[in-house]
Chain A
Amino acid sequence: MDIILWIAQNIFVTPAILLGLIVLVGLLLQKKGPSQVVSGTFKTIIGFLIINAGANVIVGSLNIFEPMWKEVFNLESSALGEFMGQEAFNNQFGSMVALAMTLGFLINVILARFTKAKYIYLTGHMMFWTTMIFAGILVNSVGTDVSFWGAVIFLAVILGIYWTVQPAVTQPIMRRITGNDNIALGHTSASVALLGALGGKLLGNKDNDSEKLQLPKNLEFLRDSNVITALTMIILFVIGAVVVTVKQTPGSQELMASAGEQNFIVYSIIQSFTFAAGIAVVLMGVRMFIGELVPAFKGIATKIVPGSKPALDVPILFPYAPNAVVLGFLGAFVGAMIWLVIIGNTVAYVFVPTMIVLFFHGAAAGVFGNATGGVRGALLGGFLTSTIVAWGQYFMVRSFIGNTIPDTAMWAADSDMFILGPIVSFLGQLFF
């Protein structure tokens, strides 16, 4: 009994070790060689630990971004408030997230085996963030004393159903876009993609296909996520910094004092690069452990579910309509700037427009919108994406995840999570 307790207290509560063990079992099941087993397991553990480091960098930059824009909009100036934050949340609930993700995947495999929805969800990084955000919502709504296994099973069931149903719902339009039935979309942009398709159908013009357009070569840099993230944050930070510098209010002077000897605008530009750097660090960590986890998952799935179709990341859509991808992003970007101003002036919330979310979700909505409504459909799809993301972030941070991980919700939560978040919160209160 002492041994079990010792294992529970020392190993089970460390999510990095737990994930390492899950990958270890997956690799052993696939009869990989010893060098692959060791490197796969180690990279999983290191990768998970890297996430905490990057998350802290992002929060550091957001802690300047938020008061800066509050000052721009003349809002009550306050920091992000009291909350747990990603690192503390990981330390306390990371094992819950790791187990819920793994069990949720197994439920997805079982549902695919026994129902008509033969889709296996393989977009690992989105599986991770969805589980993380839903766990943050659950703990936020029922409290930190939530029963460990109750929460694991609750989350796994919701996720397993979501990962099976989501690809099935988007598949009719996917068939139209890809021209076959071999691959499905497995991504949290399903809701905005469907909205884009609906909007395109109602207001677009299908004959004006975006792929007939010639887009300028200069937009190629949009394909590098580090560059667009830094660029957009520079624009926003510099606008904020200039306004703060011009104002002579106590709030703006306090902000400028935080730069110390450095010029405030230069300081702000460095903050925007720091934000992009933080995201790059987190993504590197996620890449390291998802890169080991997903092949292990795939090996299990293909053995148990013959004839299953993989549900994959958004870029599978890109080759079918590359122009619609850019149009969707442009629609989302313009929309995000409009909502930043409107939300700031009405409900006094500073929207953090995360380019990764706007780009990939805007792209999905753009391609779906183009399929039903051409150029206008693609742009509209992008705009609808920014609408869901901006208002979703506001409601999420203020109402559903404010005590746990609002910092993560500001950049890693997105369309489907915003739509499903209130339902998770409601069901959590119902069951716990």
Chain B
Amino acid sequence: MKILTVCGLGQGTSLILKMNVESVLQSLGVSDADVEHTDVSSASSMNADYIITSNELAQNLEDHSAKIIIVNNYFDEDEIKQALETEFS
């Protein structure tokens, strides 16, 4: 399973989101996920099962085949957990 975490520049914030997503997935018992961080333009041409990003950037990725999961505060592990729980448990 391939998951992309996406921010505008694809450098800092999406990396923190990636680390937080990995730790949440671990707590949910998901072990087969490959999480990668990237910028919004690259994400639109990359293959993935899930894309995790903010509400604003999600609009740019509407046509993507991946399922989009919205997280608005990338630093809030509780919000990430809530968003992922419905998909992965």
Chain A contacts to B: CB under 8 angstroms: 122-126, 183, 220, 223-227, 280, 283-284, 286-287, 290-291, 294-295, 298, 310, 312-316, 319, 322, 356, 360
Contacts and interface: CB of A to CB of B under 8 A. Distances in A.
B40 A124 contact: no
Contact of A126 (B10, B12, B42): B12
Residue of B9, B73, B74 most packed against chain A (CB within 10 A): B9
A47 B58 CA distance: 27
Contacts of A360: 9
B8 A298 contact: no
B56 to A, nearest CB: 6
Contacts of A126: 12
A225 B8 contact: yes
B23 to A, nearest CB: 10
Nearest to A220: B56
B59 to A, nearest CB: 7
Contacts of B16: 122, 310, 312-313
Given A220-B59, A223-B57, A226-B39, A315 B7 contact: yes
Contacts of B42: 280, 284
A358 B40 CA distance: 19
A223 B12 contact: no
Given A225-B39, A227-B41, A287 B11 contact: yes
Contacts of A314: 12
Nearest to A125: B11
B41 A315 contact: no
A309 B41 CA distance: 31
Nearest to B57: A223
Nearest to B72: A319
Nearest to A182: B75
Interface of B: 7-13, 15-16, 18-19, 36-42, 56-57, 59-60, 72-75
Contacts, number: 76
Contacts of A316: 13, 74-75
A313 B12 contact: yes
14 contacts: A122-B16, A124-B12, A125-B12, A220-B60, A225-B9, A287-B10, A287-B37, A287-B38, A287-B39, A291-B15, A313-B12, A314-B12, A319-B72, A322-B56
Contacts of B12: 123-126, 312-315
Q: Which 4 A-B pairs have the closest CB atoms?
A: A313-B12, A315-B13, A125-B11, A223-B8
A291 B39 contact: no
A224 B43 CA distance: 11
Given A224-B39, A280-B41, 5 more contacts: A223-B60, A224-B8, A291-B36, A294-B19, A314-B12
A319 B54 CA distance: 10
Contacts of B9: 225, 283, 315, 356, 360
Contacts of B8: 223-225, 315
Contacts of A322: 56
A360 B10 CA distance: 13
Given A223-B57, A312-B75, A319-B73, A290 B40 contact: no
Contacts of A122: 16
Contacts of B11: 124-125, 283, 286-287, 290, 313
B73 to A, nearest CB: 5
Nearest to A186: B12
Contacts of A290: 11, 15
A290 B7 CA distance: 15
